[in-house]
Amino acid sequence: MAFEQKSGMSLIVKTITRLTVGLILIFGIYIVLHGHLSPGGGFAGGVIIALAFVHLMLAFGKDAVTTRISKEMASNLESIGALMFLVIALIGYFGGSFFLNILSKGTPFELFSSGTIPLSNAAISLKVGVGLFAIFLALVILEGSKREK
């Protein structure tokens, strides 16, 4: 990576981060997808996904992330998550009422079961994860612009 020499923490931290950050991200996705089967769900999984990116930012310096994900992109993604959740809520009107679970329930204990609940979990995780990451990003950018002055 081009950012290794310029900014961030020491080589040890960077190496360990490179090894662990993928695992943290996968664990977050697992928590979100299995929200209707095991403890967890959109809120917890979204926070874990956001923490994976925060971890990356702490270890490699802010440029490693801010050049790829801008603040505008983060807030747009968050809005998309919120709209997705609302759309899932409105889908219920096809069956009669707000938030009605009209998709097929499937068999319990399977990944693709329980209708709209996994979809809601995914929408909430996008909203929560990107939202928290956007707050962190805003704080970092503010701190950076203060230092430039």
Measured distance CA(112)–CA(142) in Å, rounded: 42
Per CB under 8 A, the segment of 11-19, 20-28, 54-62, 70-78 that binds another protein is 70-78
Are 14 and 59 a contacting pair, CB within 8 Å? yes
Comparing CB distances to another protein, the nearer of 1 and 87 is 87
Binding flag, residue 36, another protein (CB under 8 A): yes
Residues 1-30 that bind another protein (CB under 8 A): none
Which residues, 6+ apart, have CB-to-CB distance to 142 below 8 Å?
Answer: none
Which residue in the set 1, 4, 93, 106 belongs to the binding site for another protein (CB under 8 A)? 106
Q: Are 89 and 83 in contact (CB under 8 A)?
A: no
- What is the per-residue binding string for another protein in 123-142, x denoting contact by CB under 8 A? -x--xx--xx-xx--xx-xx
The single residue among 71, 73, 93, 111 that binds another protein, judged by CB under 8 A, is 71
Q: Which residues of the shown chain bind another protein in the complex (CB under 8 A)? A: 35-42, 71, 75, 78, 82, 85-86, 89, 98-99, 101, 105-109, 113-117, 120-121, 124, 127-128, 131-132, 134-135, 138-139, 141-142, 145-146
